[in-house]
Structure 1
Amino acid sequence: MKNLVARLWRLIRGPLQWRLLWLWHAKFMVGVTGIVRDSEGRVLLLRHRMWPPDRQWGCPSGYVNKSERFEDTVVREVREETGLHVKVGRLLLLKSGYRLRVEAVYEAELAGGTLTIDSVEILEAKWFSPYDLPEGVQESHRLLIQQTATGPQGSAAAAL
């Protein structure tokens, strides 16, 4: 039976193969988060209007648009939510296992712009020391910020 399926698969090639693969496999949204730091090592946190009231603080985040690179999503989301421009760095985390979502987290460095929040999505935006974060920070964001911090209380070599 496997040999028959393999022969049929080789015969149908191209768009039909892709359509069958698309129908067969899971579909996911991809959420992307940026750990944005300034030249002083402070991290940008946003108080998100749409997040639960007890944990509204977190890093700039959003979903990938169709045909968009993950790195471009970080740049777009930071610009849309804050008016700031960033240079995207290394991938810190790629996590699956959610029902319909994959999460990617990147480091990013402030490159310019003027802080102007999108009041539809964001209530407040502030720069914080990675060792003095406000109450109500998403725990996953807190851990990533502290594990990737450099300086006397953190080490960039910390295991993720």
Structure 2
Amino acid sequence: MCDDVIRAALAVVIRESRTLLVRRRNKPDAGLWGFPGGKLEPGESVEDAAVRELQEETGLVSRAVRRLGTFRVDHVSPPFRLDAVLCEAPSGEPVAADDAEEVAWFDVNEVVAGRLLASRDVDRLALRAALNARPAQS
């Protein structure tokens, strides 16, 4: 059964108090806002896939910082296992490419409040990423 699960990675970028989202062009989440991401290529790590997908969908060059968690998407067949990765993309402006219809920065508070038509768990993941992206307090 494990072989039937599609492995994918999400790239979560927080810049100041904003997070980067793309509006999906393709199913299963066409028209919804979500984090850049996609399927892992054979032999690719979750972190490498997140960095690659971010660049393919937005043009931003980044580095993986840390994993944020794993989500299962069971309402499609075959199901997906999404590993979310906090990525640092300190400069540059994103441009929609690949399967991203649109790309934009959104205030994290607006995303967490559920004010966007977004994929499942985008709000929770944005909050988790924002908390993990904060510099350590002394």
Q: CA deviation at 1:113?
A: 4.0
SS of aligned partner of 1:136: coil
Relative to structure 1, is the Cα distance of residues 97 and 51 closer, same or farther in structure 2, using a 3 angstrom cutoff?
closer
What amino acid sits opposite 2:95 in the alignment? T
Q: Give distance in 1, aligned partners of 2:122 and 2:21.
A: 10
Alignment of 1:79-98 (within 5 A): 79-95=55-71, 98=74
- If asked which structure has higher relative contact order (CA below 8 Å, sep 6+), I would say 2
Alignment of 1:137-148 (within 5 A): 137-148=118-129
Structure 2 residue aligned with 1:110 = 89
Q: Give distance in 2, aligned partners of 1:117 and 1:25.
A: 33
What amino acid sits opposite 1:41 in the alignment? S
Q: CA deviation at 1:57?
A: 0.3
Q: CA deviation at 1:115?
A: 2.0
What amino acid sits opposite 2:13 in the alignment? V
SS of aligned partner of 1:66: coil
Output the TM-score relative to the length of structure 2.
0.77
What stretches of structure 1 of length at least 5 have no aligned partner?
1-23
What stretches of structure 2 of length at least 5 have no aligned partner?
none
Alignment of 1:15-54 (within 5 A): 26-38=3-15, 40-51=16-27
What amino acid sits opposite 1:78 in the alignment? L
Structure 1 residue aligned with 2:117 = 136
SS of aligned partner of 1:65: coil
> Which is worse superposed, 90-99 or 128-137?
90-99
Structure ID, larger Rg: 1
* 1:124 correspondence with 2:105: no
Q: CA deviation at 1:101?
A: 3.1
Provide Cα deviations, 1:46-76, integer angstroms capped at 9, x if missing partner: 0111146786100101000001111110111
Relative to structure 1, is the Cα distance of residues 56 and 84 closer, same or farther in structure 2, using a 3 angstrom cutoff?
same
Q: CA deviation at 1:87?
A: 1.5
Output the TM-score relative to the length of structure 1.
0.67
Is 2:19–2:108's contact at 8 Å kept on the other side of the alignment?
yes
What amino acid sits opposite 2:80 in the alignment? R
1:56 to 32, 35, 50: 32
Is 2:14–2:130's contact at 8 Å kept on the other side of the alignment?
no
Runs (4+) of structure 1 exceeding 6 A deviation are none
Quote the sequence identity (%). Answer: 25
